[in-house]
Structure 1
């Protein structure tokens, strides 16, 4: 089983204090190594630059002096030399993004979390400082803000107030040591990019495949879950948000199993969740309640698609004989090995061959690929998933009917009946949750992370298995000089035999395991 990588990013309003905290043996009980790409004076100058720019911008809130990545490592990495390991990860950041870094390698108190704190700058040092020279006297008030006239910084006594300053003509009034902040680090996709980059790096050094990391694909069909940190004031809100996200993810599982195309699921996610949410955030900021409503609407759309496909499948099944489907599956699974008829056997007389000087070489029998050989087993798993998904959909319909019944029970006289219905709804919802968990457990028991991963493997193996079956037909045609009987023809021949026996008032025979033979 693979696990998701965890790389967290935070903003630092006081970079010097944070550097001391992560790199000090006094503050850190389990500090193994510290690595720096530049000297400590760089961070002092950087903090001063950021604070000056922040004041100049007039922005409210806190000044962000730097950013920090917290990178969780597999526990097996304790076997690597700490200084070399930390240098590898820090230089990886500097080389990829051209930024100065300072990093520390830690363990938590219980030594269960091996991790790196990596602080990086959003600005680069200039090769030559940019100096601005005053072309006239310039006046600054106590806050450092530039004012137009000297009068604005004078006190009642006519003297310059304490904290105010004057830069005379010809003096340097501004000296820039750094570039502007790199907007790339503020981009929403930056953290995902860093996660993928470090995941690839970590997987190069992981010895056990079970410890390999995998980044959650935010562009995929599922919605990511939010982590709840300690003492998070929004913990309850995040719990509710994760519940609605889970509902979407479980509905996606049902859609994938019954056959809703992944492209169609992605279209629903894009048009009903991603785009409206992005537009709303730009206009009104983040609104958890609105986001939940968007997901609920998208879930309803997926439910409609699922039920439409199930109705189509059910209609087709009703048109088939009761046992036809199961026998057809057996016929698909059990392809009869070709046997050479007596009349078609090759003449093995050496003299006869010598006279005609003909060398007969039979065509090579096609080989089944590893992926194709997995198909029959994966098909059985898929059948379990489909069966479970049908039960889940049935239970959802039951809950909807109970909800509708509850809505009709109004007034004091209907109170007792309403409580009974509420009890039934609560019981049904618990049963539904257990069914959905058991469905996920089916694919996990076979080593798959989720249903999407399983379905991709299932469709790929099915494609190769069908290609293998077609190759077999061509092979049989080459050996016997005529096309082999297809599965469809075998079914039709068998059904014809059954009807003939029924017409002659004979008992219907037990269906053979291999519909290709008698």
Structure 2
């Protein structure tokens, strides 16, 4: 069975969370905006306060780069989702995220300009509101230098002309100069595990609402047999390069599907991917630098190699047992039980035979008591023999056979069929297993070459006395 398309769910960092929310939810800025949705606490004031506190903490930390004020998931939806009410769709995804992670969210449902990509933008906070916010009001003007450090006087943040230096700031008396109304950022939201968890959750939601089986999606497995394709962003200067790269990757992925259906083991496909794509790409980058055309050539070369492998890999059909193996297991269990009963009955019969022989040898006028004891033992053993035989008959009847003979005949025929199946299965494994070893042949040859080279080096470096010894040996 061919694997379906992978879901596209990407996480972005936001350095201007207020501006991003306005961009995704403003009808004046979006040509195809269908619906927006916000969790209860996700007011404009919430996002402004969140951005402000993130910026203050970022500045106080002295970290370089951009402050991350929030995060966003872009969720591509199957086109069939246009049949559902837009408000319901955006609410479903947003509330599912909120119920799981309990952070405020703002979301919007769009089409792109070409009407080919139906998707949701879901912006979320990495922080939660504190139950008891801490807000400090300035009792006098507060002065801060370029590093965000508090200065006692205004003079300390002015240049020689008496102007406020760039990067310095003043917080007037009566305004908030420090506030903590949010918890610290949850580090979980930075992890790959979180992103993967969200992808799986949203993919599951999508799959539970598609109406056609072929529209079901799967989460791309990093390190698996497939190659991931890249999304081409708006006005991307490398759009044509990415498009060509994606085409090569899709060729590889289609060939992988054929290989899997034809029975090529995943381990072999992964080996081809590692040796002929990953390793060769790294080697190319070290030697020539980044060459997009070279990557495409490498991928297509690996694809051609995999195709040759498929043509050679003619996996014979796996043998099918001519008998229900579960039924056979039940028959074998029954036979084991009968064999134990048979052993017990055989022991009783031997005992009877031995006692009767003793009885025949016990003669004479004074042996009456001994004969009577032996006759009692024989009677007990015969009763035991009959009881065991009755148990055997009941055992086979309970299993649906009229008598032991019928079961024995059925068992022998079934045993022959199972033996034939096991022989066919063994032959099938012998046919298929050597093909799995073909990939390791080059490495084996390389290993042999290395050993041969080492032996040659060792022989060339042997001390001269060895040569003398050999000549002496020849002289003998």
TM bracket (short chain): 0.5 to 0.7
**Contact 1:46–1:65, Cα closer than 8 Å, also in 2:** yes
Question: Residue 146 in 1 paired to residue 146 in 2?
Answer: no
Residue 486 of structure 1 aligns with which residue? 420
Residue 73 of structure 1 aligns with which residue? 77
**Contact 2:107–2:122, Cα closer than 8 Å, also in 1:** yes
CA deviations over 1:404-456 (Å, ceiling 9, x no partner): xxxxxxxxxxxxxxxxxxxxxxxxxxxxxxxxxxxxxxxxxxxxxxxxxxxxx
Measured in 1, the distance between the counterparts of 2:239 and 2:197 equals 27
Alpha-carbon distance, 1:203 to partner: 1.7
Residue 124 of structure 2 aligns with which residue? 120
Equivalent residue for 2:22, pick from 20, 24, 48: 20
C-alpha distance 288-54 of structure 1, shift in aligned 2 (>3 A):
farther
Measured in 1, the distance between the counterparts of 2:194 and 2:186 equals 11
Measured in 2, the distance between the counterparts of 1:113 and 1:246 equals 19
Once the two structures are superposed, the pairs formed by residues 313-352 of structure 1 within 5 Å of their partners are: none
Residue 186 of structure 1 aligns with which residue? 190
Question: Which deviates more, 195-204 or 100-109?
Answer: 100-109
**Alignment TM-score, normalising by the size of structure 1:** 0.49
Once the two structures are superposed, the pairs formed by residues 375-386 of structure 1 within 5 Å of their partners are: none
Residue 87 of structure 1 aligns with which residue? 91
Alpha-carbon distance, 1:332 to partner: 6.1
Alpha-carbon distance, 1:100 to partner: 0.7
**Contact 1:139–1:147, Cα closer than 8 Å, also in 2:** yes
Residue 59 of structure 2 aligns with which residue? 55
What is the aligned-residue RMSD (CA, Å)? 5.5
Structure of larger gyration radius: 2
**Alignment TM-score, normalising by the size of structure 2:** 0.53
C-alpha distance 23-482 of structure 1, shift in aligned 2 (>3 A):
closer
Measured in 1, the distance between the counterparts of 2:103 and 2:270 equals 36
Structure 2: stretches of 5+ with no match in the other structure: 324-392, 401-406, 425-476
C-alpha distance 110-489 of structure 1, shift in aligned 2 (>3 A):
closer
Alpha-carbon distance, 1:159 to partner: 9.5
C-alpha distance 265-148 of structure 1, shift in aligned 2 (>3 A):
farther
CA deviations over 1:221-269 (Å, ceiling 9, x no partner): 2221222234212335535654675676578568757866424654776
> How many residue pairs end up in the alignment?
339
CA deviations over 1:458-485 (Å, ceiling 9, x no partner): xxxxxxxxxxxxxxxx999538587248
Measured in 2, the distance between the counterparts of 1:127 and 1:121 equals 16
C-alpha distance 230-24 of structure 1, shift in aligned 2 (>3 A):
closer
Alpha-carbon distance, 1:174 to partner: 2.5
Measured in 1, the distance between the counterparts of 2:281 and 2:57 equals 32
Question: Residue 221 in 1 paired to residue 154 in 2?
Answer: no
Structure 1: stretches of 5+ with no match in the other structure: 279-283, 318-324, 337-356, 365-473, 491-518
**Contact 1:363–1:478, Cα closer than 8 Å, also in 2:** no
Tell me the secondary structure at the aligned position of residue 416 of structure 2: coil
Measured in 1, the distance between the counterparts of 2:415 and 2:88 equals 68
